[in-house]
Amino acid sequence: AQTVTQSQPEMSVQEAETVTLSCTYDTSESDYYLFWYKQPPSRQMILVIRQEAYKQQNATENRFSVNFQKAAKSFSLKISDSQLGDAAMYFCAYRSGGDQFYFGTGTSLTVIP
């Protein structure tokens, strides 16, 4: 079974600064997708960024970018110019070939004004 590990239960960042959230995963599949989701207090899952495993280029989405290291099975999220609205729970997720999502345990991000 696929496992996703987020080793940082909590992180904090000063507003306008940069923060990196870590994620590692374990799989024997060669074709998969990786995601970062944000879950604010409303509990609605919001897609932040996605990465196809076959693409070597790291995905970017405005202030959000990833560092995808396939051989190391590492997939970290960098948030630049952090804003108060970025405060939330962040989940790293692996999507298998069967389309099931497997989530990490989450990182609670606090943005300090």
Partner 1 sequence: GAVVSQHPSRVICKSGTSVKIECRSLDFQATTMFWYRQFPKQSLMLMATSNEGSKATYEQGVEKDKFLINHASLTLSTLTVTSAHPEDSSFYICSARRQRPYNEQFFGPGTRLTVL
Give least dist CB 30 to partner 1, A.
17
Q: Does position 100 bind partner 1 by CB under 8 A?
A: yes
Q: Closest by alpha carbon to 93, among 43, 48, 61?
A: 48
Sign of CA dihedral 92, 23, 25, 5: negative
CB nearer to partner 1: pick between 11 and 45 = 45
In angstroms, the CA 80 to CA 86 distance is 10
Number of residues lying near partner 1 (CB under 8 A):
16
Q: Does position 102 bind partner 1 by CB under 8 A?
A: yes
- DSSP class per residue in 38-65: EE-TT---EEEEEEETT--SPPEETTEE
**What x-and-dash track marks residues 42-61 binding partner 1 by CB under 8 A?**
xxxx----------------
Residues that bind partner 1 (CB under 8 A): 37, 42-45, 91, 95, 98-106
